[in-house]
Amino acid sequence: MAQKRERRTPTVRARQLGIELKRLRIEAKLTADQVAEELGCSQGKVSRIELAQTGISKGDLFLMLACYGITDAERQEQFWRLAREARGRGWWEDYRDIITGGLSVYIAFEAEASELHSWSWGTINGLLQTRDYARATFMGEPAGRDRTPEEIDKLVEARMERQQRLIDGSLKLWAVLDESLLHRPIGGPEVLRAQLDHLLVPRKNVTIQVLKQQTVWHAGLNGAFTVMTFPAHPPVVFVESLAGDLDVEGEEDVRRYTLAFDYLRAAAAGVEESRELIARARDMT
């Protein structure tokens, strides 16, 4: 029986490499079929490399670069360093049995981002969740009914692991929360109260604003999303949906979401007023 090919979780560096290789191929006026013939492989393999779904050997990379007219040894080594970095195994790989699809891609990108701009209105952003609040979200219907207690435990641990970058200060987060989240008793009143207490003491690298419920029309009505920025990669947007987190990388689409977030934080209460809203909701819970 043929062994099923395991698809990689694309990382930022893998995407960066794939995008650059595709750009060079197009500039060289070559089709994926022509490159595949030079490499002695299938057209599908060339496409998977460009889509960051599979790695590439040093020999194939240098041969591909030669096809594109890149023969300078220093430039070739720069590409190879990027390819090696793209192979790095992230901590989330230990959770492959439960973190799949869009969520695995989201976490892989989040792990390399320098700053996140997040709009939340279904649940509080995962990076700001307490352990009990996170557990309640994973136990919620309909997905929760099919999860075992062990799977829920692993999902909670993975979410706590994601928060380490906020703790060590290597990631900045600007979160705008819909005010309804402050009153939605996910997990029950005690869990929500502890969660609100947690929001009242954010880290220095975290900014929290609340969009008041009486804001009738705003830029986030189509759903939650996160804009990720990186040190050496164009911004990427992840949009929440019932099918999971969908990534958006088109320049014009990213610009629209970036502008939408700017409108949201401009419409939201300031940081101090937002803190008062959270404290008031906590006292009412």
Q: Which pLDDT tens digit goes with each residue over 243-258?
A: 667 778 788 999 999 9
Residue 158: the pLDDT is 95
Q: Up-side HSE of residue 121: CA atoms within 13 Å toward CB?
A: 17
Residue 244: the pLDDT is 66
What does each C-alpha distance from 89 to 86, 108, 231 come to in angstroms?
9, 10, 20
The CATH number that applies at residue 211 is: 3.30.870
Q: Are residues 119 and 28 in the same domain?
A: no
Last residue of some domain: 63, 86, 109?
86
Comparing 159-168, 169-178, 225-234, the range with the smallest average pLDDT is 225-234
Query: Any residues with CB less than 8 A from the CB of 63 and at least 6 apart, and which?
Result: 38, 39
Q: Are residues 220 and 80 in the same domain?
A: no
Question: What's the number of domains the chain is made of?
Answer: 2
Looking at 111-237, list the stretches that DSSP marks H as alpha helix, in order from N- to C-terminal side: 131-139, 149-162, 164-167, 189-199
Give the strands of the sheet with 115-120, arranged side by side: 206-211, 172-178, 115-120, 225-229, 236-241, 244-248
Q: Are 108 and 7 in contact (CB under 8 A)?
A: no
Three-state DSSP at 115 gives strand
Residue 19: the pLDDT is 80
Last residue of some domain: 37, 53, 86?
86
The per-residue pLDDT of the chain, averaged, comes to 89
Does 6 reside within a domain?
no
pTM of the predicted protein model = 0.78
Residue 14: the pLDDT is 80
Q: Are residues 30 and 69 in the same domain?
A: yes
- Nearest Cα residue to 239 out of 115, 250, 18: 250
Does 3 reside within a domain?
no
Range of the domain at 158: 91-284
Query: Any residues with CB less than 8 A from the CB of 258 and at least 6 apart, and which?
Result: 117, 227, 235, 237
Q: Are residues 152 and 254 in the same domain?
A: yes
